[in-house]
Amino acid sequence: MRISRIITGAFSTLALLVGMGVTAPAANAEINVYTTPGEHTINGRQWRTWCEPYSRTARCTTQIKVAGVWTFNNLTYLPSPRTLWKGNPLATPGYHTVAGRKWFTECDTARTGRNGCRSYIDSTGRGNYVFNNLVQFGAIRSDLKSLYRYRPPADPKPTPPPSGSYSITRGPNTSNRAILTFDDCPKSLSSFKTTVKAFADMGISVALFPTGDCITAGRFDASYARSLGHYVFNHSVSHPQLTDLSKSAVIRQLGSPGVVTTYGRPPYGAYNSTVREAYAAVGMRIWTWTVDTNDWRGKSSSQLVSYVVNNVKGGDTVLMHMQWNGFNASAVRQMKDGLANKGVGLCRNNGATAVKPAGVTC
């Protein structure tokens, strides 16, 4: 595959330019927007970067504001000895598959320079590789601690969830209608859009819980889903076992590039007192499920339809996943019809939803 095909598609025009090795002219030549913590305006566009410890060096996350929303642009790993990266796919030239995701890395090329590597992720599963991160080789900077002082300001305080008793398993759906929910990441952006459009055309609203990694990979469009009347909530950044993390680490998993909103589903449905405290600290409520389809075990669409129709009752929250066989129009239509025959309705679609809704209206 030629490199010209590798760099196709991007999270934004500027992200594409970065992936091609083209640097946008800076308003202030002394500012490297990718390694200078803080907020910057470059040629009329707003950027922000923050850094955190990574191994013996630091990793900086850069976002750009698109249509008023902070959007992931790329990661930059600050200089460290090449020997520390031995065996790491982000610093090993060639194609790699990690946790089912495909990457391409190039090092010491005209595009990267003689002391660095660039990695690109297959954003659609069809060979469309998008620039994701840069690894720099060299001496470790002596001022790393000074880089950790800036953190992005908190998002506006979310609208508080409804008062009164709250069920973690039923979540914010207080109606007598069941709601279908889907976790993780669809197979491609095009299939995702087709599927959620079909759901809306059926007159139903679903709750979607993508990971931040899925959003970064370009396989999920939160704005598009909300515009069709679906709810989009948090499912962490990288899908770790949150109960193994510190409170501060859990809080990071509840932030960007994941969905910053009012409700979230911890990976595997696992939470403890530390996880609960972290969710509360960011103004987010935990929402798990009442009916687990176990679709990830490879059940066919017909098996999932049968399970949902036979086991779901009014008010239930049904767990499925966007990469498995329940996430398609035919299966959901059969679920809707089968449940209707036994007097159970699915969450009705009431039009566009908010980024931080106080609840779910079915």
Question: pLDDT (tens digit, 9 = 90+) per residue, 263-305?
Answer: 999 999 999 999 999 999 999 999 999 999 999 888 999 999 9
pLDDT at 8 over 80: no
> pLDDT, tens digit, for every residue of 297-342?
889 999 999 999 999 999 999 999 999 999 999 999 999 999 999 9
Are 50 and 130 in a shared domain?
yes
Same-domain status, 223 and 117: no
pLDDT of residue 99: 65
Contacts of 4 (CB under 8 A, 6+ apart): none
Same domain, 186 and 135: no
Lowest mean pLDDT among 150-164, 201-215, 318-332: 150-164
Among residues 121, 146, 171, which one ends one of the domains? 146
Q: For 132-151, write each residue's pLDDT tens digit.
A: 899 999 999 999 888 888 87
Looking only at Cα atoms, what is the longest distance across the chain?
A: 68
Residue 125 and residue 222 in one domain: no
The pLDDT value recorded for residue 230 is 97
Higher-confidence residue of 155 and 286: namely 286
**CA distances from residue 180 to 201, 233, 289, 318 in whole angstroms, order as listed:** 15, 13, 10, 5
> Are the CB atoms for 156 and 94 separated by under 8 Å?
no
Q: Look at residues 93, 126, 146 and tell me which one is the last residue of a structural domain.
A: 146
Q: Tell me, yes or no, whether 290 lies in a domain.
A: yes
CA–CA distance, 59 with 43 (Å, rounded to integer): 25
Percent of the chain with pLDDT over 70: 86
In this structure, the number of other CB atoms found within 10 A of the CB of residue 244 comes to 12
Q: What is the pLDDT of residue 152?
A: 79
Q: Same structural domain for residues 138 and 90?
A: yes
The pLDDT of residue 30 is 65
| 83 shares its domain with 197 | no
Whether residue 238 has pLDDT greater than 50:
yes
- Flag whether 20 is in a domain: no
Minimum mean pLDDT range among 77-81, 151-155, 173-177, 338-342? 151-155
Residues 200, 105 share a domain: no
pLDDT tens per residue, range 78-126 = 999 999 998 899 999 999 887 667 889 999 998 888 889 999 987 666 7
C-alpha span between 208 and 320 (Å, rounded): 10
Pair (133, 209) in one structural domain: no
356 within 8 A of 159, measured Cβ to Cβ: yes
How many angstroms separate the Cα of 318 from the Cα of each of 165, 213, 259, 294, 333? 21, 23, 20, 10, 15
Query: Is 134 in the same domain as 264?
Result: no
Judge whether 213 lies within some domain.
yes
Residue 161 within any structural domain of the chain: no
**How many structural domains is the chain composed of?**
2
The pLDDT value recorded for residue 285 is: 95
Residue 274 lies in a domain: yes
- Does the predicted model carry a pTM greater than 0.95? no
Q: Answer yes or no: are the C-beta atoms of 346 and 316 closer than 8 Å.
A: no
Confidence of residue 7 (pLDDT cuts 50, 70, 90): very low
Average pLDDT over residues 177-182: 97
**What value does the mean pLDDT of the chain take?**
85
What average pLDDT does the segment 213-238 reach? 94
Does residue 244 share a domain with residue 96? Answer: no
Can you give the pLDDT at residue 352?
92
Domain contains 282? yes
Q: What is the span of the domain harbouring residue 183?
A: 179-342
Residue 267 belongs to some domain of the structure: yes
- Considering the domain architecture, whether residues 140 and 211 belong to the same structural domain is answered as no
Residue 109 domain flag: yes
Q: Which CATH number is 267's domain given?
A: 3.20.20.370
CA distance linking residue 318 with residue 302, whole number of Å: 16
Q: Are residues 140 and 204 in the same domain?
A: no
